[in-house]
Amino acid sequence: MNICHLTSVHPAEDIRIFVKECRYLQQSGFDTSLIVSNSETYVKDGVKIVGVEVNATNRYMRILKGPMRVYKKALEIDADAYHFHDPELLPVGLLLKRKGKKVIYDVHEDVPEQVLSKEWIPAFLRHSISTLVKRIERFASSRFDAVVTATPTINDRFKTYNKNSVIIHNFPITNELITEDLPSSQDQKKTAIYIGGITKLRGIVEMVDALEVVNQTAPVTLTLAGKFSPESLEEQVKKQNGWKYVHNAGWLNREQVKSYLGQAFVGLVLLHPEPRYTVSYPIKLFEYMSAGIPVIASNFPLWKEIVEESQCGLCVDPLNIEEIAKAILWFNENPEEAKRLGKNGREAILKKYSWENEAARLVELYKNL
């Protein structure tokens, strides 16, 4: 079976699309390609990455030009099945269906909920656009051969549009971030870590402020591994008093992420209580667990259930700086207990939250098609 994945938004070696889905499908015997906007064309791990030039000067031009460039290239590849990853490609999916192709929509996020907090969309238009997006998703998804969703909450909605909706969680690859032996408490530097996109809604302001409080008691640094969005946010955060305790590593490749995780004594995932976040499964939470370090997570009911069941960390109010600081200090002062909780998290990944289990369901979906 010749499978072609499509994205006009994500990078060529996106973790979910390329590293997990495309590579695993190729390893499972499917002839797999990936069309990506503004990428080189090359082969990696057997997957054919096909770049298309979009040359968009802004987000609006990308949405206008990108999908049709991707569609034209998709027709050239002439695959048996197409698997696309961006809501702006919904019209492309419908056009491919009219060509008699098998089409799968991969829903990473609850887009109607996302729209409500998008700063680049004028506030007075957000509710109308959110409603419109939901209607478009309902119309298009009912015509596709399958829908893949990243969380149970998203799947509950899409199941009402298309009975062939399957949850494929974005869990870590079992051995990707796990070292042979967990670092001992003496080996770990007094460094907390945050990996992922850096935004206000993901808690960067509170994390930096908490570091200022922590350092009144103990010398602890925070490593940031990701990009600021918008870029101007970095300059704002640098004005906070706690910034002097921050090491901004920037965007890291997977080997670098693994290295930095191995140096940390706790991982932070302190997203704000936005509706779309409270029902999400944050990949960074599972990556910390996979690396064998304990977590400090937002106290959303879904996240608390995961953390408490796995006994891998603490949950706090992500808007309460004192509570965040207190949790960081607790892990700093209890290194052996931190190590035990980190080990619990790693065992939970091996038993329950591994990508390999999810990938098996993805392969089964294709075989059923």
Structure tokens at 129: 């656009």
Instruction: Give the gyration radius of the chain's Cα atoms.
Output: 21
Q: Are the CB atoms for 65 and 54 separated by under 8 Å?
A: yes
Q: Identify the pLDDT of residue 20.
A: 96
Q: Identify the pLDDT of residue 360.
A: 94
Q: How far apart are CA 215 and CA 245, in angstroms?
A: 8
Q: Which domains does the chain have, with CATH numbers?
A: 2-171+354-368 (3.40.50.2000), 191-351 (3.40.50.2000)
- End-to-end Cα, the chain, rounded Å: 10
Q: Give the Å distances, CA to CA, from 281 to 120, 184, 197, 322.
A: 25, 28, 15, 25
Q: How far apart are CA 37 and CA 59, in angstroms?
A: 13
Q: What angle do CA 328, 329, 331 make, to 5 degrees?
A: 70
61: enclosing H helix or E strand: helix 59-77
Give the other-Cβ count within 10 Å of 240's Cβ: 16
CA 139 distance to own-chain centroid = 26
Q: Nearest CA to 366 among 164, 153, 98?
A: 164
Query: For residue 2, is it left (φ>0), alpha (ψ between -120 and 50) or beta?
Result: beta
Q: How far apart are CA 179 and CA 251, in angstroms?
A: 21
Structure tokens at 246: 């921050």
pLDDT tens for each residue of the chain, 369 residues long: 899 999 999 999 999 999 999 999 999 999 999 999 999 999 999 999 999 998 877 777 777 788 999 999 999 999 999 999 999 999 999 999 999 999 999 999 999 988 887 777 888 999 999 999 999 999 999 999 999 999 999 999 999 999 999 999 999 998 888 765 544 444 456 999 999 999 999 999 999 999 999 999 999 999 999 999 999 999 999 999 999 999 999 999 888 999 999 999 999 999 999 888 998 888 999 999 999 999 999 999 999 999 999 999 999 999 999 999 999 999 999 999 999 999 999 999 999 999 999 999 999 999 998
E-strand spans in 11-74?
A: 31-37, 42-44, 47-52
Q: Identify the pLDDT of residue 232.
A: 93
Q: Are the CB atoms for 179 and 209 separated by under 8 Å?
A: no
Q: Identify the pLDDT of residue 179.
A: 60
Q: Are the CB atoms for 187 and 216 separated by under 8 Å?
A: no
Q: How far apart are CA 367 and CA 369, in angstroms?
A: 5
205: enclosing H helix or E strand: helix 204-214
Contacts of 330 (CB under 8 A, 6+ apart): 314
Q: Nearest CA to 193 among 207, 212, 205?
A: 207
Q: Tell me the three-class secondary structure of 268-333, residue by residue.
A: EECCCCCHHHHCCCCHHHHHHHHHCCCEEEECCHHHHHHHHHHCCEEEECCCCHHHHHHHHHHHHH
Please compute, for residue 213, the number of CA atoms within 13 A of its CA located in the half-sphere on the CB side.
16
Q: What is the strand order of the sheet 165-167 is part of? A: 42-44, 47-52, 31-37, 2-7, 81-84, 102-107, 146-149, 165-167
Q: Identify the pLDDT of residue 178.
A: 72
Q: Identify the pLDDT of residue 335.
A: 94
